[in-house]
Amino acid sequence: MTDLEQRLVATLERKADEVDTSPDVEFLARRATQPTSVPRRRRNRPSVASIAASLLVASAALGFVVVRSHQSDDGAVVTDSNIVTEPAPPELTQPWRVATEPVPDVTEPLAPETIPPSTLPPTTQSPDDGPPSTTHLTATIDVTDTITELVGPDPFVQWVIPWQSGFLMRADATSDLPLPDDRIGDLVDSVPPEWQASITDSPNPTDQEVLDGLKANGLWNPAVRILLGDLAGPVDTSGELVYSPDGIAWAPAAGTLPAGDSTYNRGVAVHGDRLAMYTVIDDQPHVATTTDLVSWRYDPVVVPQLLDDLPPTIMEHSFPGQLVANAAGWAVPYSYVYVLNSAVVATSLTGAGKSPAW
């Protein structure tokens, strides 16, 4: 055991010895007189609705590509290659349904002059027009199965960027989170009957059929994390780069992610044929740059310490912002937080790491 580990053990033991471990007599007395609880399914029905709503949100956020669209508020991944000419059919506005309509040809963009005036988005809005429309979809393509085949189970799309003449996507597959055996019943109870019917083929599914249905629909991890209250906890992921020339057909990209932990989803920028990604290698932030996704150049991000001679009780933490790039190179802003005994005592938004020339 190293000196640091011995010191750590001594500190933990000393702090633990200081804890008042006397029992709470009133707490025990209340338990002793408390009647048996009612069955869980009935008692927890209100919380089931909230869990189901959360599952809906979680499932809708996965793996959809919308072509010929302006920015959407529905959580789908969108591209914006052409002007929109038609509203979406109703079935295509529900992101958990697979579009069955023929996909319009996106290789032949309509010239603005060919668009009927009545279908163009209004440039001004009168007070009687109601709330402005923000979504003008022409087709929604469910790419969940495709990305699952390429990347792995329960994929999550971290970002999509323009790349070469098409699109580059980084998607992370997540392995199933472990759930203690004694929580299996709780998880099944958390899925209301109407949901069970939608994820299984059985009218009266067994627990195992419900669990299989959750996994088959990519809902296992969201459900486990909600159940355990572990929404920001660890998830084992493996990321892959996939490429599409048109946003519809996706295939593995000819290349790899840079070394290190590059999961920071605001840490990607593209300029022309150059791509920059923020990655952390051995606790040292770097920006990796490439033109072919094969050869990566790694430049360490020098994060300056803003204040010198800080007392040891105040800790300085720095956080990266959005990575940006232009012809001159890349830049990443940093914000700073100063913490004294778990409380933030000052913040700063200055400071940036900037690259040498590309």
Q: Which residues pair with 196 in a beta bridge?
A: none
Does residue 229 touch other proteins according to CB under 8 A?
yes
Rule CB under 8 A: choose which of 102, 122, 312, 356 binds other proteins. 312
Region 274-293 residues binding other proteins, contact defined as CB under 8 A: 283
- Decide whether 138 or 262 has the Cβ nearer to other proteins: 262
Residue in the block written with tokens 């946003």: 247
Rounded to an integer, what distance in angstroms lies between the CA atom of residue 164 and that of residue 272? 8
Q: What are the distances in angstroms from CA 242 to CA 32, 252, 275?
A: 59, 4, 14
Region 320-349 residues binding other proteins, contact defined as CB under 8 A: 337, 339-347
- Decide whether 201 or 309 has the Cβ nearer to other proteins: 309
Does residue 350 touch other proteins according to CB under 8 A?
no
Does residue 207 touch other proteins according to CB under 8 A?
no
Does residue 180 touch other proteins according to CB under 8 A?
yes
Short-list 94, 183, 190, CA closest to 142: 94
Q: Quote the tokens at residue 104.
A: 């319009």
- Decide whether 54 or 290 has the Cβ nearer to other proteins: 54
Does residue 120 touch other proteins according to CB under 8 A?
no
Short-list 255, 253, 339, CA closest to 289: 255
Site string for other proteins, 21-60 (x = CB under 8 A): x-xx--xx--xx-xxxx--x--------------------
- Give the residues lining the site for other proteins (CB under 8 A): 4-5, 7-9, 11-13, 15-16, 18-21, 23-24, 27-28, 31-32, 34-37, 40, 175, 177-183, 185, 228-230, 232-234, 236, 283, 312-313, 315, 337, 339-347
